[in-house]
Structure 1
C-alpha cells in the first residue's frame, strides 16, 4: 500500500494517502501540516520587500522605473479586515503620460511572497510578446487588492490594466500569483469584466513563460473585442 501511494504522490503536492494511527495523523504528516500552515500565515503577513522588487524590475529591458504607492489601508491588520480600503489609493498618483495601452500593477495582495518570487519573471517573459504596446510605468502597490488597479488605470487613462497579485495561500502552496486583465478599467468595474490567469508558481503551478503567453493572448483578444471578462474566452484566442 505504501508503494502505491508513493507513486501517486510523485505527481501531486496534494496530501494523499496520509498515514494515521487511529484518529490521529502520523508524526511526519502532522509536522508537514504545521509547517505548511505556518508558511501560509507567513505569506499573508510578510511585508513586500519593495526595494528588492524595484531592483528586479530594473533588470527587465525597456521597462520604466516603477512608481510605488500604498492603498488606503494603513496597516496589515486593517487590510485584512477592511477589503474596501485595499481597493483604493491612499494618495493621488504622480503624473504620467496618459493614454498608455497597458499599465501593470504589482500588488502584494494576500501573499507578498508570490509577488516577490514570480512577478518580475512573468513580466520579463511578457514584454517580448507584446511588441508595439505602449506601457505605462509599472506600479508597485502595498496593502493592495485587485480593484486598486482600476484607480491607477483611470488616473493615467490607460486602455488596459494588468494586476499581478499574491493569491490567498493554501496548505499546498503559499506563493501563488494571479494575473487580472481588465479592459477600460475604472473605479467600480465588476469582477465579471476581468480575465484571470491564476496558479502561477513553478514548478507545481504555471511557469512564468506559460503564464506570459496566456496573458499576451488575452491582451490581443481584448484589443480585438474591446472587452475583457465574460465577453473574452481564452480558448478562442490566438496570439497576434
Structure 2
C-alpha cells in the first residue's frame, strides 16, 4: 500500500484522485456524482416522521417526559429551502402543547429535521438514546422532548423560551457535503429567546459514525450542558476546555512515516 493510500484511510475527503491524462478518472467522477446525488436526496427528502415519532415516544415514556410534535411556519419543502426566516418561527397553533412547568426546566431538547433527512433517520435515535442515559445520571430537570418539522436552528429558541428552559439543545440535520450526507449538528444556547444570533450558541458538528462518533459527541454535549449551567453563559462566552479525547484507531490504520 502506498503512503497516499494509507493517508486516505483517515479521511473521506477527495485526496489523491486517480487521473487519466489531464482529467479525473471515470471511476472517481462516478463516485463524485453518486455523492452529489446522496447530498441532494438528504436535502430534498423527508425523514420517516412516523417512525421517528414512534421511537421518540418510546424514549420519552421510558424517561417519564412528554413528546411534542410541532411545525415551523413553512408550508412546503420548497418554501423551507427558499425561506429560512419562516423555518425559524413556530406555526401559529403549533405551540398549544408547549406549556412550561411552574419553575421551568434546566434543559429543553429540540430535534429538528433541518437540511438532512438522512442524518435524522440514521443518527437521531442512537444519539438520543445515549444522551438520555447520561442525563439520567444527573439531576437535570427536562422539558418535554420536542420534534420539529421544517425547522432551522433558531426555531429551538422560541420553543425553549416558551418552555422556560435555562438551556436549549437543538439536534438538527446538517447541510450535507459531498462526502457526508448524514451529519447531525448539536447547538446549545443558554437563556434561549427569540432574536438570539449564532454567537450565543455552542456547536458540535459532524456527528455521525464516520465523523465525530456519537458516544464522544454525547460526552461533549454533557460537558457543555454542565459548564453552561455552572457559568450561566454559552456561545463565544463559554470556552470549551474539555480534555481532548479521540476514539482509538484500529491497528490496521498506521500513519505513514513519509
SS at match of 1:110: coil
Answer with 102-111 or 2-11: which moved more: 2-11
Query: Shift of the alpha carbon at 1:207?
Result: 1.5
Tell whether the 8 Å contact from 2:100 to 2:162 is kept in structure 1 after alignment: no
Paired residues of 1:183 and 1:222 also in contact (CA < 8 A): yes
The answer to whether the Cα contact below 8 Å between 2:115 and 2:174 also exists between their aligned partners in 1 is: yes
Q: Which residue of structure 1 lines up, in the alignment, with residue 109 of structure 2?
A: 104
Match of 2:173 among 162, 166, 177: 166
Compute the displacement of 1:63 (Å): 5.2
TM-score (norm 1): 0.93
1:216 alignment partner, SS class: helix
CA distance in 1, matches of 2:155, 2:52: 19
| Residue of structure 2 equivalent to 1:117 | 122
Q: Secondary structure at the match of 1:106?
A: strand
* Contact residue 48 and residue 142 of structure 1 kept, 8 A: no
Query: Which ranges in structure 2 are unaligned for 5 or more consecutive residues?
Result: 244-258
- CA offsets, 1:184-211, max 9 Å, x none? 1000011111111111011x21111111
1:211 aligns with 2:211: no
Determine the C-alpha separation between the residues in 1 that align with 2:31 and 2:80. 29
Distance 1:34 1:143, change over 3 A: same
Is the contact between residue 220 and residue 242 of structure 2 (CA under 8 Å) also seen in structure 1?
no
Unaligned runs of 5+ in 1: none
C-alpha separation in 1, matches of 2:121 and 2:144: 18
- 1:151 corresponds to which residue? 158
For the residue of structure 2 that corresponds to 1:188, the secondary structure is coil
Contact 1:86 1:148 in 2 (8 A): yes
- What is residue 58 of structure 1 aligned with on the other side? 57
Does residue 1:140 correspond to 2:143, yes or no? no
TM-score by length of structure 2 reads 0.86
Tell me how many residue pairs correspond in the alignment: 236
Q: Could you say which residue in structure 1 is the equivalent of 2:86?
A: 85
State the superposition RMSD in angstroms.
1.7
Identify the residue that residue 24 of structure 2 maps to in structure 1. Answer: 25
Q: Secondary structure at the match of 2:2?
A: helix
Once the two structures are superposed, what CA deviation does each residue of 1:138-163 show, in whole Å capped at 9, x if it has no partner? 11111100000011011111111100
State whether structure 2 residue 236 is matched by structure 1 residue 230. yes
Distance 1:95 1:43 in 2: 29
